[in-house]
Amino acid sequence: MIATRGNRPSSFIVDGGHALEGTIAVGGAKNSVLKILAASVLYEKPLTITNVPLIEDVFRMIELLEHAGATVERVGEHEFRIDASGIRNHELHPEIAKCFRGSIVLVAPLLVRLGRVTFPHPGGCVIGARPIDLFLKGWISMGARVTKGPEEYDISLTAPRGTEYMFRHISVTGTEALMLTAVVAHGTTILMNAACEPEIPHLAEFLNQSGARIEGAGTHTIKITGTGGTLLQPPAPFSVLPDRIEAASFLLLGAALGKNITITDCVPDHVRSLIEVLREAGVSVHIAGTSMVVRKPKMLRSISVRTHEYPGFVTDFQAPFAVLMTQAHGQSTIFETIFDGRFHYIEDLNRMGAHITIHNPHRIAVEGPTALRGREIESPDLRAGLGFVLAALIADGRSTINTIYFIDRGYECIDARLRSLGAFIERV
């Protein structure tokens, strides 16, 4: 067992109001590594993955793999070796899967490998309705039979066949899950209205290096020619791409508090939408290869945004951006077009001194600048949790942020990394 969910510190204590300066590196992408770990089930021989972030979601996926029969070994600081030759268990660990949204992607390779999977409805952050009907309909179109009981789903799929499948709306994880099913199917699969996020061509690159035949990943139409049931061969050690959401988080941190913050090991093109918005707000962002330098402007201007699928202003930027806009001059309107529950954090921000009006579940107005005051707050989800860290660092006085497990789900040792920039933050 690589990691357990035993007793852990549950809060951050943050003393705000201090400028930050220095260099911070971006780690491997959470939304990439989870899919690559799941894909290991499609291999009979061991494979090695590098640049793996040491975050709670990774540990949960590893626990699910081990429960299914895989052996996972940490062979370097951020390097793991996965041997899925012992995969036998078709049931996802219910206690993990029901509180871990990423578990749904593991259903696809287990279906291919074992012909049957039993799992509860996957849970996770409370950010709005996240049904799995797109996954189920896609698997049914490939020949699956789905039985839904009061507590779990039972899916069987003996010989997945190629299909033409149109996503009713764009789904990143749905695109990836059906890709993982189609790579060893019989025949050709065409996925239409597919997601275009950078993690998708990255997953396709990994699979293609292993003998898969995937074309068009990164566009809205993906063609997968299945292997006809043949499992994949492991490539050379494969490195997880940098986390664009983490890079965006550090950009927003620098825009709010940075004298000069250098962000390294990133792909600036993956956060281009945010860079352009920040520049319009008066923030200096300098790009040099795989690094960015950001600093707080003398006067931050309010900018209105609308969330959109990549390459637009993605929903994961929204909460920390709202925090930044509390320090901007004027009114900013933020439209959330992806989820209907991503504004749960607003009440706590207003208690800290923000002036934010919720017009409806998809639109808020932020008046600024306002002085934020330290207080005790509860992290409601991963990205809002990071937004609270930003708010606490901006605020005058001391803040306590509880339920930091949500933050640890996506950010490796964020407290220690922020201390390296001069932040006053402790884990208790």
In the prediction, which pLDDT does 390 show?
Answer: 98
- CA-CA distances (angstroms) from residue 385 to 242, 319, 367, 389? 20, 9, 21, 6
Q: Are residues 167 and 271 both part of a single domain?
A: no
**Cα–Cα distance measured from residue 268 to residue 334, given in angstroms and rounded to the nearest whole number:** 23
Q: Are residues 329 and 180 both part of a single domain?
A: no
Calculate what percentage of the chain has a pLDDT beyond 90.
90
Among 217, 239, 261, the domain-final residue is: 239
In the prediction, which pLDDT does 151 show?
Answer: 86
Q: Are residues 234 and 274 both part of a single domain?
A: no
Q: Does residue 123 carry a pLDDT above 70?
A: no
**Cα–Cα distance measured from residue 230 to residue 46, given in angstroms and rounded to the nearest whole number:** 16
Q: Are residues 416 and 326 both part of a single domain?
A: yes
Q: Are residues 311 and 270 both part of a single domain?
A: yes
Question: Three-class SS of residue 171?
Answer: coil
Among 178, 204, 239, the domain-final residue is: 239
Q: Is 266 a catalytic residue?
A: no
Bond preceding residue 235 cis, omega within 30 of 0: no
Domain membership of residue 401 (yes or no) is yes
Q: Are residues 320 and 331 both part of a single domain?
A: yes
CA–chain centroid gap for 243, Å, is 8
CA dihedral 276, 282, 283, 286 (to 10 degrees): 60
Domain membership of residue 5 (yes or no) is no
- Give pLDDT tens digits for 21-44: 999 999 999 999 999 999 999 998
Instruction: Give the single-character DSSP code of 401.
Output: E
**Cα–Cα distance measured from residue 100 to residue 345, given in angstroms and rounded to the nearest whole number:** 20
Contact between residue 302 and residue 366 where contact means Cβ atoms under 8 Å apart: yes
More confident residue, 126 or 390: 390
C-beta atoms surrounding 281 within 10 Å: 21
Q: Are residues 321 and 218 both part of a single domain?
A: no
pLDDT band at 341 (very low <50, low <70, confident <90, very high): confident
Looking at every residue in the chain, the average pLDDT score rounds to: 94
In the prediction, which pLDDT does 129 show?
Answer: 44
Q: Does residue 2 carry a pLDDT above 60?
A: no
pLDDT (mean) for 139-154: 94
Contact between residue 79 and residue 49 where contact means Cβ atoms under 8 Å apart: yes
Domain membership of residue 218 (yes or no) is yes
Q: Are residues 197 and 306 both part of a single domain?
A: no
Residue 99's domain is classified under what CATH number?
3.65.10.10
Classify residue 228 as left (phi > 0), alpha (psi -120 to 50) or beta.
left
- Give the closest residue to 173 by CA, choosing from 240, 108, 258, 92: 108
Write out the residue range of the structural domain in which residue 388 sits: 11-27+242-427
Q: Are residues 16 and 69 both part of a single domain?
A: no
Q: Are residues 235 and 296 both part of a single domain?
A: no
Domain membership of residue 263 (yes or no) is yes
- Give pLDDT tens digits for 299-323: 999 999 999 999 999 999 999 999 9
181 is written with which tokens?
Answer: 């099913």
Provide CB contacts within 8 A for 279, sequence distance 6+.
Answer: 285
Instruction: Give the single-character DSSP code of 396.
Output: B
Domain membership of residue 3 (yes or no) is no
pLDDT (mean) for 228-248: 97
- Give pLDDT tens digits for 162-219: 999 999 999 999 999 999 999 999 999 999 999 999 999 999 999 999 999 999 999 9
Marked catalytic residue, from 125, 196, 266, 413: 125
**Cα–Cα distance measured from residue 113 to residue 117, given in angstroms and rounded to the nearest whole number:** 10
- Give pLDDT tens digits for 4-24: 444 566 999 999 999 999 999
C-beta atoms surrounding 151 within 10 Å: 10
**Cα–Cα distance measured from residue 278 to residue 256, given in angstroms and rounded to the nearest whole number:** 11
Q: Are residues 251 and 118 both part of a single domain?
A: no
Domain membership of residue 359 (yes or no) is yes
More confident residue, 4 or 118: 118
Domain membership of residue 207 (yes or no) is yes
Domain membership of residue 137 (yes or no) is yes
Q: Does residue 291 carry a pLDDT above 70?
A: yes
pLDDT (mean) for 325-342: 93
SS (H, E, C) 348-368: HHHHCCCEEEEEECCEEEEEE
**Tally of domains within the chain:** 2
In the prediction, which pLDDT does 121 show?
Answer: 85
In the prediction, which pLDDT does 127 show?
Answer: 44
Sign of CA dihedral 168, 170, 171, 172: positive
Q: Does residue 226 carry a pLDDT above 50?
A: yes
Q: Are residues 182 and 263 both part of a single domain?
A: no
Q: What pTM value is reported for the model?
A: 0.94
Q: Does residue 3 carry a pLDDT above 70?
A: no
pLDDT (mean) for 273-295: 98
Q: Does residue 125 carry a pLDDT above 70?
A: no
Among 215, 239, 263, the domain-final residue is: 239
